[in-house]
């Protein structure tokens, strides 16, 4: 009898956990494309100068992002520096002569020399309340000119030594480097908001609202081109749950600051629909 009660209690706890994870999954998948893969698809952004769009891509700076669906990318507003030309209210906040012009699509799973898909970006949307000085509402969206052919993995391999251009080879090396660094970030420890505020207050930095702070478990010297990438929680069913967009705090030993995406669900859905 006692054993039957123990089994019943165990089953109740198990079903509660499954129900909770299913709720998280259903809520998240309204905007996130992460079917049958270990982690969300990774995006590396390449930039061109606004002065001459016919020039080749600049090698730095890069930013990152993640696919929302076949035609939309989520990133930091810091990365989406070129504000939509239809948004005249925010024109004064433009501070860069570079704009994201192309997305390199890859996944966390594949770290190999493959020719990655590259798609031009034809629309940039920055959150209307983004402030480049305080990093408040540091979130943006990028629209792809063509549909991204999202597959379980980018496994179609090439003889890179004679069929890949130098630029394509550079792209694969870049993506490999980014994925390796994000592996460290995914082992991060959450830092309480009050503690994070105190840390940054000593640096004369006010922590923006809707922020999440994480400390890498095995810190390495991160490069600023990781900005815009996702904060990911992987549940027991190996379903990736996106929690935030990397905002700042990359080049110091202090916690990294992410913009929490949950408060922006409605805005994101309005834009991409």
- Which top CATH class is 31-272? mainly beta
Whole-number Å distance between alpha carbons of 98 and 120: 15
Q: Is the pLDDT of residue 70 over 70?
A: yes
- The segment with the largest mean pLDDT, out of 78-82, 125-129, 178-182, is 125-129
Q: Where are the domains of the chain?
A: 31-272
* Predicted TM-score (pTM) above 0.95: no
Q: Share the mean pLDDT of the chain.
A: 68
Q: Is the pLDDT of residue 84 over 50?
A: no
What pLDDT sits at residue 90? Answer: 39
| Selected residue with higher pLDDT from 55 and 35 | 55
Per-residue pLDDT band for 175 (boundaries 50, 70, 90) equals low
What pLDDT sits at residue 202? Answer: 87
| 195-245: pLDDT as tens digits | 999 999 888 889 999 999 988 765 555 555 678 888 877 667 766 677 889
Per-residue pLDDT band for 192 (boundaries 50, 70, 90) equals very high
| 12-51: pLDDT as tens digits | 444 444 444 444 444 443 343 333 334 446 777 877 666 6
């Amino acid at each position: 009898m006692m054993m039957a009660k123990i089994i019943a209690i165990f089953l109740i706890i198990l079903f509660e956990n499954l129900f909770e994870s299913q709720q998280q999954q259903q809520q998240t998948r309204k905007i996130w494309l992460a079917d049958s893969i270990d982690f969300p698809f990774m995006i590396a952004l390449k930039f061109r100068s606004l002065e001459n769009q016919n020039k080749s891509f600049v090698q730095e700076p890069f930013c990152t992002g993640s696919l929302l669906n076949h035609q939309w990318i989520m990133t930091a507003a810091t990365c989406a520096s070129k504000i939509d030309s239809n948004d005249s209210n925010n024109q004064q906040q433009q501070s860069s002569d570079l704009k994201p012009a192309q997305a390199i699509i890859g996944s966390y799973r594949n770290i190999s020399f493959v020719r990655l898909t590259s798609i031009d970006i034809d629309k940039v949307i920055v959150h209307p309340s983004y402030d480049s000085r305080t990093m408040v509402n540091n979130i943006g969206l990028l629209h792809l000119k063509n549909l991204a052919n999202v597959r379980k993995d980018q496994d179609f391999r090439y003889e890179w030594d004679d069929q890949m251009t130098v630029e394509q080879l550079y792209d694969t090396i870049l993506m490999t480097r980014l994925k390796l660094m994000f592996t460290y970030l995914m082992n991060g420890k959450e830092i309480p908001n009050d503690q994070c505020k105190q840390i940054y207050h000593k640096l004369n930095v006010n922590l923006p609202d809707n922020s999440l702070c994480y400390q890498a478990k095995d810190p390495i010297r991160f490069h600023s081109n990781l900005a815009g990438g996702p904060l990911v929680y992987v549940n027991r069913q190996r379903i990736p749950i996106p929690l935030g967009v990397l905002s700042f705090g990359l080049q110091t030993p202090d916690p990294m600051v992410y913009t929490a995406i949950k408060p922006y669900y409605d805005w994101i859905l309005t834009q991409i629909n």
